[in-house]
Amino acid sequence: MISRRSAVKALGTLAVALAVTTAGPALAADPIVIKFSHVVAPGTPKGKGAEKFKELAEKYSNGAVTVEVYPNSQLYKDKEELEALQLGAVQMLAPSLAKFGPLGVRDFEVFDLPYIFPDYDALHKVTYGAVGKELFAKLEDKGITGLAYWDNGFKIMSANSPVKVPDDFLGLKMRIQSSKVLEAEMNALGAVPQVMAFSEVYQALQTGVVDGTENPPSNMYTQKMHEVQSHATLSNHGYLGYAVIVNKKFWDGLPDDVRANLDKAMLEATEYANSIAKEENEAALAAMKEAGRTEFHEMTEDERAAWVKALSPVHDEMAERIGAELIAKVKAETGAM
């Protein structure tokens, strides 16, 4: 038989327990979760940029926001991740600018035109300028908001045979991202372009499903592609970079103060990502040279001239698809050929 005293005590304990369990969630509101999915390794310019954004977003929002970064196509492959963003299954991505065509936005393919950016400075006139903003506006009616452009770098061509001059590409099966400009580029070299998700490239190179590909050194190195490519040419014939994008409904629905903190975090993460991209690519190239698996070829002046001659027609060929006016605007900014 329990005494009145111990019954009162037990009730008191129960009341305290109830107060704790019910008060818990009310005191600490659930954080807003941003799932940030991407397809490259954590040790790349994009991978590091994503981690920097996470760190700053969580710091500036005082815990109101949690950013979960999923690298290496862990959650979604190229095409699926854009669908997942539109459906709201993830909130943030940074796809390569070459991957917006399947979404129905062709304009970003201007970034894929061969030799359109002589260097990072020329590129930044576009990505930090009016043209960059104009391009982001095209995403709005797809339910997407563009926040920033992040650099990777200039691409090198690799294969399992020497690829020094355009004739060397004749009949080679070359993996490309899902861009019509890149398809035209490979066709112009006499190669057979094959669109393939990034996560599948290493195995396709290893098994001979494709002979070669193009990538900035950081991607080639972190995916170990140099272990399955015997030759590469430092062609720097095109640029690969990213648009950091969010689900528009999610972004517009955020409390103003939270969005302001995230804008600040994105601004600083962008400065960081764009300040390390060049060095990261140089370091990756040095590491691949050191590994000694791939023979890296530096172009001669004559070889470069042959590449430029072979690839220049792609600009005119793609003018109808991308828009001659947009191409002209970009060239006016960069002073390209």
- The binding site for ligand LMR (CB under 6 A) comprises 39-40, 96, 152, 177, 198, 215, 219, 240
Query: Which CB, 96 or 235, lies closer to ligand LMR?
Result: 96
Query: Which CB, 39 or 326, lies closer to ligand LMR?
Result: 39
Rounded CA separation 201/22 (Å): 51
Closest distance of CB 42 from ligand LMR, Å: 13
Question: Which of 84, 114, 117 has the alpha carbon at shortest distance from 176?
Answer: 114
Closest distance of CB 243 from ligand LMR, Å: 11
Rounded CA separation 194/186 (Å): 9
Helix extents (H) in 71-178 = 78-87, 120-127, 130-137
Tokens at 111, concatenated: 């970034």
Closest distance of CB 222 from ligand LMR, Å: 10
Tokens at 244, concatenated: 């950091």
Query: Which CB, 254 or 277, lies closer to ligand LMR?
Result: 277
Tokens at 17, concatenated: 């327990």
Query: Which CB, 223 or 334, lies closer to ligand LMR?
Result: 223
Query: Which CB, 266 or 277, lies closer to ligand LMR?
Result: 277
For 118-148, b/e burial (b = at least 16 CB within 10 A) is eebebbbbbbeeebbeebbebbeebebbbbb
Closest distance of CB 276 from ligand LMR, Å: 15
Closest distance of CB 218 from ligand LMR, Å: 8
Question: Which of 81, 50, 322 has the alpha carbon at shortest distance from 199?
Answer: 81
